[in-house]
Amino acid sequence: MSRETLATFKDKSYAEVAYEVLQPFIGGTPDNDRFREILQSAYQAFEVPEVAPVVPLGGQHYLLELFHGPTLAFKDVAMQLLARLMDEALARRGRRATIIGATSGDTGGAAIEAFRGLENIDIFIFFPKGRVSDVQRKQMTTPTDSNVHALAIEGTFDDCQALVKDMFNDADFRQETGLAGVNSINWARVMAQTVYYFTASAQLGGPDKEIAFSVPTGNFGDIFAGYVAKQMGLPIAQLMIATNINDILARVLKTGIYEIGDVVASTSPSMDIQVSSNFERLLFEATGRNAGEVCRLMGELAEKRKFSLSPDVLDVMRASFAAERVDEVETAKIIKDMFETDEMLLDPHTAVGYGAALRSDLPTSTPIVTLATAHPAKFPASVEKACNRQAEEIIDTPERVQVMMKQDEKYETYPNELAGVQDFIRQKK
């Protein structure tokens, strides 16, 4: 994408920038006019016209607010578009699809909100029992639409994600149910998330100025979208991988060893991950698109629970990425300090991102944008504990969330067993 094109983005709406960025990936289906209509419809669901406004924090630090969608999380930005594109394609072909997805918290609610009530789609979302916040769970379990099914799996997010992968690898089941996926392994999710890197850059002087981004990172989809934006020509100084105590991504960038450990529950549950699916995409790029080498490494991971990167591959990654681990104590301190000093509340994931941004070794003249991936109302217990204040005193909880929290829930609990979950899907679709 040329610098001349990038320079025009500062005068365009979010939907207009999205059209310029995404249209080359669409391939004429839907046609250009219909694609513009779909984009306008998708982003009308957001509470602010900018969709993803940039807010100054002081000095060269900024927040990119991605929580103004229907479920108060960055996942809405991509999911609202993905649902409309899939429904359009299915209707045109006269087909139905069964959506399956694993969630560590936000993806499930965003997917259910986007796909609920659609005639051509059934959606099944798997979440780890007891490992999501109350708000996140309620966003998945209170919708009453007949095409929505939430399942609490007795295991971790990685277990939920493994169920999804195993179902897609079962050719007979995939064909029988018409499976489709909405996790960040779905390219359309990554594609849609590239847009806000472009709009943030435009708001801060790009393309004449290089911008850095600090991204709370779990499954690696959001930050990989930033890498895609950079490959498309957006001047990005650095992509900071911000991890919590589940720090496999920080460790691999520092040591070159990708080794799976145990998942530890934290106050930022959407990042409680050890196997980051989209890291495989970065491996593909960093190895010079050597599919055989990626297959070898992933096979080694499955067998030995770890692999080592060559110095050349590690150098390619470090040319674009840095990484920092922010622990629970520091996360709580950042939430408390930001509230007391600036009267600004951060959710725990955003606090991890900001903590990593503060450690960047970039020149102080480089703007650093932390992606604010969720509204603090989604994590009231964590915010309350960090600030030592009652949540209702300090969090401006949207009315729709207050209403939702009083509604009845509808979900099933299943053990981490593939056959049982597959039988449930067969019965319900």
Which residues are marked as active site?
A: 75
For residue 149, list its beta bridge partners: 124
Q: What is the DSSP letter of 9?
A: G
In the chain, the amino acid numbered 369 is: V
For residue 323, list its beta bridge partners: 241
Peptide bond into 30 cis (omega under 30): yes
Contact 184, 107 (CB under 8 A): yes
In the chain, the amino acid numbered 125 is: I
Contact 76, 70 (CB under 8 A): yes
> Who's near 298: CB < 8 A, 6+ residues apart?
280, 283, 307
What stretch of H or E contains 261?
none
- Four-residue CA torsion sign, 245, 246, 248, 253: negative
Contact 94, 88 (CB under 8 A): no
The dihedrals phi and psi of 97, each to the nearest 5 degrees, come to -140, 150
Which tokens belong to 290? Answer: 């050597």
What is the Cα–Cα distance from 191 to 82, expressed in whole angstroms? 10
Of the candidates 417, 398, 405, 272, the one whose C-alpha atom is nearest the C-alpha of residue 331 is 272
Contact 192, 22 (CB under 8 A): yes
Q: What 3-state DSSP class applies to 56?
A: strand
What stretch of H or E contains 228?
helix 221-231
